Structure 1
Amino acid sequence: MAEEEFAIRMNNVTKEFKVLNRHEGLKGSIKDLFSRDYKTITAVDNISINIRPGEIVGYLGPNGAGKSTTIKMMTGVLEPTRGEILVNQTIPYKDRSRNAENIGVVFGQRSQLWWSLPLIESFKLLKDIYMIDTADYNRMLELYRELADIETLLHKPVRQMSLGQRTLSDILAAFLHNPKIVFLDEPTIGLDVSMKAKIRELIKGLNKEKNTTVILTTHDMGDVDALCQRIVIIDHGCMIYDNDIEHLKHYFGSYRTLRLNLADTGWKEIIVDECQTDVMSVISEYQRMGSIKDISVEDISTEEVIKKIYDASNRKSVKKRA
Structure 2
Amino acid sequence: MNLSIVIPLLNEEESLQELHNWIVSVMKTNNYTYEVIFIDDGSTDNSWQIIERLSSENPSVKGVRFLKNFGKSQALHAGFARAKGDVVITMDADLQDNPEEIPELYNMIINQKFDLVSGWKKKRYDSVFAKNLPSKLFNWAARKTSDVELNDFNCGLKAYKNIVVKNIEVSGEMHRYIPVLAKNAGFGKIGEKVVKHQARKYGETKFGMDRFINGFLDLITIWFLSRFGKRPMHLFGALGSGMFIIGFFAALFIGVNKLIRLYNDYPTMKVTENPWFFISLTTMVLGTQLFLAGFLGEIILKTKSNEGRYKISKEVNL
**What TM-score, normalized to structure 1?**
0.25
Larger proportion of strand: 1
Largest Rg, 1 or 2: 2
**What TM-score, normalized to structure 2?**
0.25
